[in-house]
Amino acid sequence: MDKPIDNPAHHRHGGFLHEQALPRAAAAIAHWRERLTAFRIPLMIGAVLLFLGGAVLSFERLGISPTSLEPRALAALAFLVIPSLIYGGIGLTLLARSCGVSIPVGKATTLSAYAYLAELLPLPGGAIVRTGALMNAGGGLRRSSALVLLTAILWISLAMFGAGLTLFVTGLNFALPLLVTGTVIATAIYVWLWRTASPAIATQTLAHRALGIFLTALRLQFAFAVLHTTIGFLDAMPFTFAMLLGSASSIAPAGLGVSETLAALAATTSAYPPETAFLAVGIDRLLCLAGCAIVAFLSRIGQRGQRKGPPSVSSGDSMDI
Please return the burial class of 262, using the count of CB atoms within 10 Å of its CB with bins 0-12, 13-18 and 19+: buried
The per-residue pLDDT for 122 is: 59
Tally the domains of the chain: 1
**Does residue 28 lie in a domain region?**
no
CB 94 within 8 A of CB 308: no
**Does residue 278 lie in a domain region?**
yes
Domain span at residue 266 reads: 39-63+70-306
* Strands, E assignment, 28-142: none
**Does residue 14 lie in a domain region?**
no
**Does residue 110 lie in a domain region?**
yes
**Does residue 2 lie in a domain region?**
no
Q: What does residue 38 show for φ and ψ, rounded to 5 degrees?
A: -60, -25
**Does residue 81 lie in a domain region?**
yes
The per-residue pLDDT for 95 is: 95
Per-residue pLDDT of 37-66, as tens digits, reads 556 667 677 778 888 999 999 999 999 999
The per-residue pLDDT for 298 is: 92
Coil, helix or strand at residue 201: helix
**Average pLDDT value over all residues in the chain:** 82
**Does residue 314 lie in a domain region?**
no
Coil, helix or strand at residue 249: coil
The per-residue pLDDT for 174 is: 78
315 falls in which pLDDT band (50, 70, 90)? very low
Per-residue pLDDT of 257-309, as tens digits, reads 788 888 999 898 888 999 999 999 999 999 999 999 999 999 988 887 776 55
Q: H helices of 197-273, where?
A: 199-226, 237-247, 258-267
